[in-house]
Amino acid sequence: MKSILFVCLGNICRSPMAEAIMQKLVNDAGLKKDFYIDSAGLISYHEGEGSDPRMKQHAYRHGYKLTHLSRPVRTTDFDTFDIILAMDDSNYDKLRRLAPTLDDEAKIFHMTDYCTQHVIDHVPDPYYGGAQGFENVIEILEDACQGLLDSLTKE
Stretch that binds ligand 4NP, among 12-20, 25-33, 73-81, 114-122 (CB under 6 A): 12-20
32-64 burial, b for 16+ CB within 10 Å, e for fewer?
A: eeebebbbbbbeeebeeeebbebbbebbeeeeb
Rounded CA-CA distance 35/23 in Å is 8
Does 82 participate in catalysis according to the annotation? no
Q: Among residue numbers 67 through 96, which ones bind ligand 4NP (CB under 6 A)?
A: none
- By CB atoms closer than 10 A (0-12, 13-18, 19+), residue 142 is buried
- State CA 15 to chain mean position distance: 4
Amino acid (1-letter code) at residue 125: D
Q: Is the dihedral of CA 74, 76, 81, 85 positive or negative?
A: positive
- Give the contact letters, 41-60, x = binds to ligand 4NP (CB under 6 A), - = no: ----x---------------
Choose between 36 and 127: whose C-beta lies nearer to ligand 4NP: 127
Does 79 participate in catalysis according to the annotation? no
Stretch that binds ligand 4NP, among 3-11, 100-108, 112-120, 142-150 (CB under 6 A): 3-11
Helix/strand number for the chain, H first, E second: 6, 4
- Give the contact letters, 108-127, x = binds to ligand 4NP (CB under 6 A), - = no: -----------------x-x
Which of 8, 66, 73, 84 forms a contact with ligand 4NP (CB under 6 A)? 8
Task: List interacting residues with ligand 4NP (CB under 6 A).
Answer: 8-14, 45, 125, 127
Report the catalytic residues.
Answer: 8, 14, 125
